[in-house]
Amino acid sequence: MLALVSSCSLFEADSYDAPDVTLVGSVVDVLTGKPVLTDQGSEGIRVRLTELSWGDNVEHNPDFYCMPDGTFQNTKLFKGNYHITVDGPFVPLLRRDPDGKELADESIVMNLETSHQVKFEVQPFLHVEWVGEPTVQNGKITAKVKVTRGVSPEDFKAKVEPMGNYNDDFLNMTDIQFFVSYSSSVGYRARDERWSSRLDYSGNSFEDLFGQTITIESNGEIPAGRTVFVRAAARINYNTPVGSGTRRWNYNEAKEILVN
């Protein structure tokens, strides 16, 4: 009988509240206030929450990612005290030296109890802007873009070099991508490889092209009568989080194109 009572206790409802806390956030350029546009997926801006209520050795919550417009939302969090940070194509918010000593922590620590909004102000590596409007001829899209630095080389070095293993090559532009897709979430994760294209740059060969107009073209021939979305993206030779091997693009906004 005792065994039966013990077994039945396994089916009793637990006393924990369901996760009902909502966190809404945005990632913006500290200088312009504009959103940091990103990819929809693991090449975009990663959001990491760690519930500090559980002590020093707690594991972080499952990571999630920003939407293309640099905003994020999580509606299934437990109440608690959280460390909230983001990693993306911008100067790292949490910086440590090679010995693990904290150099800076520009992330957020706060109690989450109901619904909350947070804003991260960051220094994006690059700004990517359209120059004029894309044109279409014979199933090919031609567009013009301008890429400028969002953080000066001096400021980048001052903040990144103390983290160790610094290399001036980190600042080099490596590529410009021209993503084409039927999806309005066009980007690396939502691209049509038949029509998307890229321009690659070695070493510091792009240095004199910052601020200049760059022409990019789609590949192949897009069928007439189709509506597609296009975006341009550029990145430097630096991965975030440090050591992850992921070099993240800075994007411009998507445009809708009717191929006629």
Q: Where are the domains of the chain?
A: 19-122, 126-258
pLDDT in tens, 15-26: 566 788 999 999
Nearest 10 degrees: CA dihedral of 253, 251, 127, 135?
Answer: -50
pLDDT in tens, 185-244: 999 999 999 999 999 999 999 999 999 999 999 999 999 999 999 999 999 999 999 889
Query: pTM for this structure?
Result: 0.89
Q: How confident is the model at residue 5 (pLDDT cuts 50, 70, 90)?
A: very low
pLDDT in tens, 91-127: 999 999 999 999 999 999 999 998 999 999 999 999 9
Burial of 4 (0-12, 13-18, 19+ CB in 10 A): exposed
Of the CATH numbers 2.60.40.1120, 3.20.20.80, 3.50.50.60, 3.30.70.270, which one belongs to the domain with range 19-122? Answer: 2.60.40.1120
User: Per-residue pLDDT for 13 more than 90?
Assistant: no
pLDDT at 16: 60
User: Per-residue pLDDT for 6 more than 50?
Assistant: no
**Which DSSP symbol is given to 156?**
H
Q: How confident is the model at residue 7 (pLDDT cuts 50, 70, 90)?
A: very low
pLDDT in tens, 119-168: 999 999 999 999 999 999 999 999 999 999 999 999 999 999 999 999 99
Q: Are 226 and 210 in contact (CB under 8 A)?
A: no
Q: Across residues 235-259, what is the average pLDDT?
A: 96
pLDDT at 87: 97
Alpha-carbon distance 238 to 166, whole Å? 10
pLDDT at 243: 87
Alpha-carbon distance 22 to 12, whole Å? 28
* Per CATH, domain 126-258 is 1.10.1040.10: no
Give yes or no on whether 19-122 and 126-258 have one common fold: yes
> Any residues with CB less than 8 A from the CB of 150 and at least 6 apart, and which?
29, 31, 90, 123, 124, 125, 126, 127, 250
pLDDT at 15: 54
Q: What distance, in Å, lies between the first and last C-alpha atoms of the chain?
A: 79
pLDDT at 58: 73
User: Per-residue pLDDT for 9 more than 90?
Assistant: no
Which of 250, 246, 227 is CA-nearest to residue 238?
246
pLDDT in tens, 36-77: 999 988 899 999 999 987 766 678 888 999 999 999 999 999
